[in-house]
Chains A and B, each alone.
Chain A
Amino acid sequence: MTEVAWIGPALAAARPQAVAALLRYFRDLDVAEEAFQEASLRALKSWPVNGPPRDPAAWLIFVGRNSALDELRRRNKHDSLPDDDVIPDAENNEAALVERLDSSAYQDDVLRLLFVCCQPDLPATQQIAVALRIVSGLSVQEIARAFLVSEAAMAQRITRAKRAMQESAVAFETPGPVERAERLNTVAAMIYLLFNEGYSASGGEAHVRVPLCEEAIRLARLLLRLFPSESEIMGLAALMLLQHARAAARLDATGNIVLLDDQDRHLWNHALIAEGLVLVEKAQRVGIPGTYQLQAAIAAVHARAARPQDTDWGQIDQIYAVLEVLQPSPVVTLNRAVAVSKVRGPAAALQLLEPLARPLAGYFHYFGVKGALLKELGRADEARVAFNQAIALARTAAEAAHIRMNLDRLDK
């Protein structure tokens, strides 16, 4: 470890808040990012000599803002006079700035920064990529690697996404309660997409991409520290913690998928599970169940079972029933069918699957579940058809291999 190894995490930790505050000052993402970059360079020179500042984020905001103002003044000497709209709060000193950071204003700054990444016209993967670049500060190379595309392609994607973001008008006033709730919703969905991208890769060789899951959890914790009473953010964080806790057990040594029932539960991360269970309990106090909370509650039932046969499938079925009302979706029903098969048998579950045939005609897991239920009922020929359809829809090698294993077992 080098002498200044602590600076990396310190900069990474301060980044969301610092870039968010700089975005509010300059109302321009590029200027904000450049300002943070410049402040980081100065930190690398100053911090090893002077030690870490008491409040790294405040230091970076102050230094970044001043350097960007200098830069703007330099440019404006050649162009035109400085525009007061572009340089608000120019007279603020550091003390006033720090005071402001203590207030609740920066909650909305960070939320806004996350929110501008969630442009509805951008494809989900681009929203995630741009959030990883701007909010988390991952390098283009790291993001490209995570998404298994070339660095040049990812750079182009991010540039395009940023242009779309610059063109959209985002309100810089402090949001009202309704708008804040909407923003939180949108941002939560983006964070969950990021997690899912890591949890179940949408393509390529790697089936699980741990860094993406960890980054999603980091963002959820960040959001929850800013909005500690938001039960759905608690639910989101709990859901991801409980699912990610199983990461080490989800693939075997050769990279094959290990289903929940067959996982070695000693490999589960029990610290993450404990944290997830606490958050589920905390969220339930609020008494307004949301979709993340319900999904987390289901994950909690699994996490509490020491052995697969201890799983309270009846409770899982009940929670899915509530989820079906709150968020009707064929995928939710498909998942409920798995619980139903455990409580009332495969025939009842298969019945639940019938209306899903059309909406889930292109869904890998639909055919995987259908095949497994048919197999259980001893209808091997129909099971084979379903498994073959699943293989055709598999997105990763691990998914395909898992179904092939099921097919092999059918033949025996």
Chain B
Amino acid sequence: MTSETASAAPARSGFRIDFHIWGPVIALIALVALGAFLNPNFLSYGNVTNVLARSAFIGIIAVGMTFVITSGGLDLSVGSMAAFIAGVMILIMNALVPSMGVGWGVILIGMAAALAVGLIAGLVNGLLITQARIEAFIVTLGTMGIFRSLITWLADGGTLSLNFEVRELYRPVYYDGLLGVAWPIIVFALVAIIGETIMRKTPFGRHCAAIGSNEQVARYSAVHVDRVRLMTYVLLGILVGIATIMYVPRLGSASSSTGVLWELEAIAAVIIGGTVLKGGFGRVWGTVVGVLILSLIDNILNLANLVSPYLNGAIQGVIIILAVVLQRQRKAER
């Protein structure tokens, strides 16, 4: 540390709170306090598990989305991709039951298929963006429509249901857990921790931020820009696969309304968490906080009778806009 650094430090400490960093956390704490105040059941084991487990799907996807957005991209297709993966997974497992019988073998193959389809879907998005040089917004808007249409077609406009016995066997993956912690929560936590580590500690994370800040600088600094970009979409695709693996045992079905608006929730969580939409800066832990904020709002509205739960979307919208306003204020100060 130079002496100049030391002299610069006092101005930054003091009583001012850096909203850019702590804003989401403060909002989360405020929400928890509000929830506990409004309804004594809010902090009960059952409710907490319920909220966390249901956040897990969006959360796992949002972790992947953080990398895509940090490197200056966007993926609108994740909601329909999840629905499509769920459909394919169910069809494959149902098709295998006659030959393999009901057992974990079928489920494992189904899981592998989910990961594979997610990987391929991410690869398609990524290749179109990096090789065909089409804007991410356009590509994923297109694939969003394609995946949504495919699941509707696969389900013939109705619902694809998982074989009843397989469903009974698979159910615990969503509803059971380890030492009282539900599996989706555990998986979400693992994904978040690994994601945060990758973002913060690995060359890949550093390269994502560099590309998002200035692609040219990254290119001139020996970063394989296209490869890193492609990897972010593939990673996101795989994470959508993992989210779907956790989601299918919950309802045991997939239809054209599965995963609707997940992409927007995931993107919103990323932005609320402090990642810059234009790219260049991302933090996975912020995204996790963002996901929790969104699901807590939903939960509190359902538990308390203050505001109609139908206004959930409006409140989430306000929070998203507020988050960006707070980010901007900080920028202007610099």
* Same complex origin of A and B: no
